[in-house]
Structure 1
Amino acid sequence: MNKVTINPQIQLTYQIEGKGDPIILLHGLDGNLAGFEDLQHQLASSYNVLTYDLRGHGKSSKSESYDLNDHVEDLKILMEKLNIHEAHILGHDLGGVVAKLFTDKYAYRVKSLTTIASKKDDLIHSFTQLLIQYQDDIAGFNKSEAYILLFSKLFRNQEKTMKWYQKQRIYSTKSEDDSAVAIRSLILHKDEPMYLKKRTCVPTLLINGEHDPLIKDKNHFKLEAHFLNVTKKIFEHSGHAPHIEEPEAFMNYYLNFLKSVS
């Protein structure tokens, strides 16, 4: 595994593959870079694809506390150390939230932004609501066990997503304490008021699954107030992970988006 030192306490684990314009893939909450293994291999035929474990995830360094801005600065330093000036950035779930915040702050480093199932407020509240809704079914189980029990609610294609989930668990298992720290970083983050956000022309693709129970506003209307070049796509046969549940359709759509940007 490759590692980059962000500061004396934090190292990030990463993998890089392929040649061409850079693409950076950011995984979701409690996930890790193994979740993008297949997508990285496919994109690497035409692009230089970087995946990495976010701080507090996978095989990157853990810490007792951090916030979303730490993730943003980690990505900036990672790009600098790998001599990546500008990249297409794609994030799923938490990774999409980080990717959007990075674009808000460092738009000149982002060739395009793609977020998948990444509306921050919904990610915070909707899973809790799901736990409450099915509390009788998951009583006595911890969060990881409850996640498995709720798989049929979260994902439409359970066979593909279970393999994806298991691949990440084989690569690295996240403790309950580390998971709590990661969730807290989402909950405690305060967004800037909309009137303070700078307008950006970065080509932006918002992807959601029609059957995702976590994302309520699947059109992300608020994002359009300062993102001026937005494309929206809803995958009709997907839940919370369209890139895993409909991989062929996703790849075709994403590659066409990248070509339109280049």
Structure 2
Amino acid sequence: MFVTVGNNKYHVNIVGDGEPIVMLHGFTGTMATWNDMLLHLSYQGQLILIDLPGHGDTQATDVTTMYDVCHDLKLILEQLGHQQVSLLGYSMGGRTSFLMAYYFPDFVERLILVGASPGLPEEQRIERQKQDEQLATMIEREGMEAFVSYWETIPLFDTQRRMPLSKQEQIRNERLAQSPQGLALSLRTMGTGKQPSLWSFLQHMTIPVTLVVGEEDDKFISLNEQMLESLPNAELKKISQTGHAVHLESPEIFGKIVSEVLIKPFSN
């Protein structure tokens, strides 16, 4: 189905009834990125899957900041009859989930964050904006085939080469199906450099937060351990023999973790 917010039209899939959990994918992904994990999810509530701006079948060009995206998501969920939701976000979707809790704290009941960051210091953020703009320009100039061939080789995804070739091909096809204009829009609107730093906000975030990271994702292990020290009501789950994309590399284990959190949430 599609849900319209202003001039934007979001692709949304709803499965089941009950307490809602919203699932937000990462950069170059779509709602289909969760398919393998969903096979191992034991949860009787409602699943809400959304293609974020610039991705999949969503047509949302009238956004310029991450606040715009978060505000649109809130309006979508209110149209669906929800006044409070849990959020599951991977990478870019994790950044978005973080900011939803920051901008609309009463709207978010619980966070499950996979390979997510609360943002960069200001100097690093400005430099990252430049890098994101360079990448956006490259995508627009050279097209999807060249970009995907480059994107597959970045060190963050090294561990994905251990996955079956059929799975690697599936991920590649999902990336290739995106539009250059869409991914460029995403980098300029929702890239790491566009995310406000939330480090000082963490100590005030009292909702339950589950941090999930692959044990071979060194950068994000360090980030998640730092977040764990600042968050007053958080737990950290490390998954062995897994890199950045936990939901793709270890869908069965990740599905069980998500099920346990949603069925029997922890509380410090």
* 2:4 matched residue in structure 1: 5
Q: Give, in angstroms, the shift of residue 58 of structure 1.
A: 0.9
* 1:57 matched residue in structure 2: 55
2:80 to 79, 82, 88: 82
Q: Which amino acid aligns with 2:116?
A: S
* 2:182 matched residue in structure 1: 178
Contact 1:207-1:232 at 8 Å conserved across structures:
yes
* 1:33 matched residue in structure 2: 31
| Residues 211-226 of structure 1 aligned to structure 2 (within 5 Å) | 211-212=216-217, 215=220, 217-222=222-227, 224-225=229-230
Q: Which amino acid aligns with 1:206?
A: L
| Residues 199-218 of structure 1 aligned to structure 2 (within 5 Å) | 199-212=204-217, 215=220, 217-218=222-223
Distance 2:18 2:70 in 1: 24
Distance 1:21 1:48 in 2: 6
* 1:231 matched residue in structure 2: 235
Q: Deviations over 1:61-103 (max 9, x none)?
A: 1427622112211210111110012222100010000001101
* 1:259 matched residue in structure 2: 263
* 2:168 matched residue in structure 1: 162
**1:112 corresponds to 2:120:** no
Q: Give, in angstroms, the shift of residue 19 of structure 1.
A: 2.3
Distance 1:69 1:106 in 2: 10
Contact 1:40-1:51 at 8 Å conserved across structures:
no
Larger deviation: 66-75 or 86-95? 66-75
Contact 1:155-1:239 at 8 Å conserved across structures:
yes
List runs of 5+ in structure 1 lacking aligned partners.
Answer: 129-140
Secondary structure of the residue aligned to 1:207 is strand
Q: Give, in angstroms, the shift of residue 20 of structure 1.
A: 2.4
Secondary structure of the residue aligned to 2:23 is strand
* 1:103 matched residue in structure 2: 101
How many residues are treated as equivalent by the alignment? 243
Q: Give, in angstroms, the shift of residue 26 of structure 1.
A: 0.2
Distance 1:29 1:217 in 2: 21
After superposition, the Cα gap between the structure-2 partners of 1:19 and 1:180, relative to the gap in structure 1 and judged at 3 Å, is same
Contact 1:104-1:198 at 8 Å conserved across structures:
no
* 1:132 matched residue in structure 2: none
Q: Give, in angstroms, the shift of residue 181 of structure 1.
A: 2.2
After superposition, the Cα gap between the structure-2 partners of 1:187 and 1:252, relative to the gap in structure 1 and judged at 3 Å, is closer
Distance 1:13 1:234 in 2: 31
After superposition, the Cα gap between the structure-2 partners of 1:238 and 1:22, relative to the gap in structure 1 and judged at 3 Å, is same
Larger deviation: 9-18 or 61-70? 61-70
Contact 1:208-1:218 at 8 Å conserved across structures:
no
Which structure is higher in RCO with an 8 Å CA cutoff and minimum separation 6?
2
Percent identity between the two aligned chains: 23
Q: Deviations over 1:170-203 (max 9, x none)?
A: xx72233322221222244252575567712211
After superposition, the Cα gap between the structure-2 partners of 1:115 and 1:193, relative to the gap in structure 1 and judged at 3 Å, is closer
RMSD between aligned residues: 3.0
List runs of 5+ in structure 2 lacking aligned partners.
Answer: 132-144
Q: Which amino acid aligns with 1:209?
A: G
Task: Give the TM-score taking structure 2 as reference length.
Answer: 0.78
Distance 1:251 1:190 in 2: 27
